[in-house]
């Protein structure tokens, strides 16, 4: 149950209202931004909400039960305080959003919190960003507990895997590149597919501090192909650290990491087809 400030409750029941929306964006790195749909900055409880971001929320529906309630907000990431580079590099992925209803004509009234959630999918439509606000019920969609699959369920280098990933890390620098997705380092000598599926962390250059997934490593041409283009331009001499990849198969665990004792898959477990099979007439 939501409790309205006495003054705000009276105002909402009036024939004419002066309502606006407030948004508080808390990024995963701790940076906090406060925005409002009003045409000038507002101050509530000593905090200033900027008005340079015109955004339009979709219908705010809530239902009983465990249905997943999402809210789309158009233009939320168009503020001058929000850099396009930060959006493209994932700085707002998983950011917490607090959504309030307030009376801009009387900032002494405590705003009503309508929704709390986290940024989900962010897409670009008609020249603006549309961000999906996922509510608390979204957590119920995640699998909890171990899942038995033929492939290993551990993440390479985690406590269950046991592989000393920092010890396998390789440092290099870009010797040539093609766009923001393909680059080479002629100094590397690792075998074919050694880095395929691994992670690369940029140390210097425009992408410094950011991590990219490796789609393929070609040892014949000494070339990396990233799953997705790097957020910013890659330059010759950019330094990086790269870790090997793992396709989570039993053979790879044995031949590449000698880690069969910690393999977390069940390659010999009967599949669904065998469980549903029945004797034939023969």
> Does any domain span residue 234?
yes
Q: What's this model's pTM, rounded to 2 decimal places?
A: 0.59
**What CATH number is associated with residue 97?**
2.30.110
Neighbours of 15 (CB within 10 A): 4
> Does any domain span residue 211?
yes
Residues 237 and 175 grouped into a single domain: yes
Concatenated DSSP letters for 148-196?
Answer: --SS--SPTTSTTT---HHHH-EEEE-SEEETTTEEE-TT--PPTTSST
Residues 63 and 188 grouped into a single domain: no
Please tell me whether residue 277 adopts helix, strand or coil conformation: coil
Number of domains in the chain: 2
Q: Which domain holds residue 190?
A: 170-242
**What CATH number is associated with residue 186?**
2.40.30
> Does any domain span residue 281?
no
Residues 37 and 81 grouped into a single domain: yes
Q: How much of the chain exceeds pLDDT 90, in percent?
A: 44
> Where does a domain end: 139, 158, 183?
139
Q: Does position 132 have pLDDT exceeding 80, yes or no?
A: no
Residues 135 and 175 grouped into a single domain: no
Average pLDDT, the chain: 83
Of 65, 63, 16, 56, give the one whose Cα is nearest residue 36.
56
What's the pLDDT score for residue 129?
Answer: 66
Give the tens place of pLDDT for each residue, 58-112. Answer: 555 555 454 545 566 666 555 566 666 677 667 777 888 888 999 999 999 999 9
Give the tens place of pLDDT for each residue, 191-248. Answer: 988 999 999 999 999 999 889 999 999 999 999 999 989 988 999 999 999 999 999 9
> Does any domain span residue 144?
no
Give the tens place of pLDDT for each residue, 205-216. Answer: 999 988 999 999
What's the pLDDT score for residue 46?
Answer: 92
Q: Does position 172 have pLDDT exceeding 90, yes or no?
A: yes
Structure tokens at 59: 């219908």
What's the pLDDT score for residue 282?
Answer: 61
C-alpha angle 116-122-126 in degrees, rounded to nearest 5: 120
């Amino acid at each position: 149950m939501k409790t309205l400030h006495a003054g705000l409750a009276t105002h909402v029941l009036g024939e004419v209202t002066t309502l606006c929306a407030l948004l508080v964006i808390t990024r995963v790195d701790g940076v906090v931004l406060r925005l409002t749909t009003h045409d000038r900055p507002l101050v509530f409880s000593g905090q200033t909400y900027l008005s340079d971001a015109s955004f339009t929320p979709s219908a705010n529906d809530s239902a009983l039960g465990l249905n997943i309630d999402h809210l789309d907000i158009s233009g939320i990431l168009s503020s001058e305080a929000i850099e396009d580079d930060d959006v493209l590099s994932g700085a707002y992925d998983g950011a917490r959003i607090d959504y309030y209803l307030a009376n801009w004509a009387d900032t002494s009234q405590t705003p009503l919190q309508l929704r709390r959630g986290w940024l989900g999918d962010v897409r670009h439509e008609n020249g603006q960003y549309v961000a999906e606000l996922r509510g608390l019920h979204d957590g119920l969609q995640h699998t909890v507990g171990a899942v038995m699959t033929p492939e290993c369920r551990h993440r390479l280098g985690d406590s269950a895997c046991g592989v000393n990933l920092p010890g396998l890390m390789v440092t290099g620098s870009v010797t040539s590149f093609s766009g923001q997705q393909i680059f080479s380092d002629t100094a590397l000598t690792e075998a074919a597919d050694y880095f395929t599926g691994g992670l690369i962390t940029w140390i210097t250059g425009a992408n410094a501090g950011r991590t990219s997934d490796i789609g393929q490593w070609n040892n014949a041409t000494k070339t990396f192909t990233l799953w997705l283009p790097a957020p910013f331009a890659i330059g010759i001499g950019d330094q990086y650290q790269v870790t090997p990849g793992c396709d989570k198969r039993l053979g790879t665990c044995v031949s590449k990491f000698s880690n069969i004792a910690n393999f977390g898959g069940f390659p010999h477990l009967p599949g669904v087809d065998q469980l549903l099979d029945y004797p034939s007439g023969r």
